[in-house]
Amino acid sequence: MPFTIAIDGPAASGKGTIARAMARHFGFSHLDTGLLYRAVGALGGDPIVAARGLQPADLERDDLRSAEAGQAASRVAAIPEVRAALVDFQRRFARSEPGAVLDGRDIGTVICPEAEVKLYVTASDQVRAGRRALELGADVAQILTELRERDARDAARDVAPMRPADDAIMLDTSDLTIEQALTQAIAHAERVRA
């Protein structure tokens, strides 16, 4: 039976790093669901048409990790028809054998409420801004402003707002190394699988 790990949280919290490492550890497939929305935003034009026609190759674009793509993703993710077009794809992926790790903002609450493991990864605004600025070679103050705007938009949207699932394990990575955060996440998933 497939095993699904849902990892949610705000940008630059460490959820993607943890998700990729957990997928490698367990031999599962990994989907960064934010790339779906980033790709739709980056494709331009009518976002609903872009979402309905999204191809796997669209997730390979080099510009999907830019701050601009992140802002575009947040805007198109608030459109109910875009979200609906991408939900089925994500749910099918989540139940692939032998298991899957999905990271995003509404995996444990909307996409995979039945996931065996749900984590909500977070970190302080300052820590997240510092991480993203280092990654992008950008100004910390500017990134902090953008992160806060995006968090507010993602948490306030009517459809699938960003929030922890009621049964999610909270993992604050503000003061943890990658190894410490991963150790905690894997330990939790292994307890559930036992």
For the annotated binding site for ATP, the residues are 9-17
Question: In 3D, which of 33, 11, 9, 29 has the Cα closest to residue 20?
Answer: 29
> Beta-carbon neighbour count of residue 155 at 10 Å?
12
CA dist., res. 64 & res. 137, Å (int):
16
The residues near 194 (Cβ < 8 Å, ≥ 6 apart) are: none
Annotated binding site: 9-17
Take residue 24 and report the two structure tokens written for it. 């490698």
Write the DSSP assignment of 139-185 as a string of letters.
-HHHHHHHHHHHHHHHHH-SSS-S---TTPEEEE-TT--HHHHHHHH
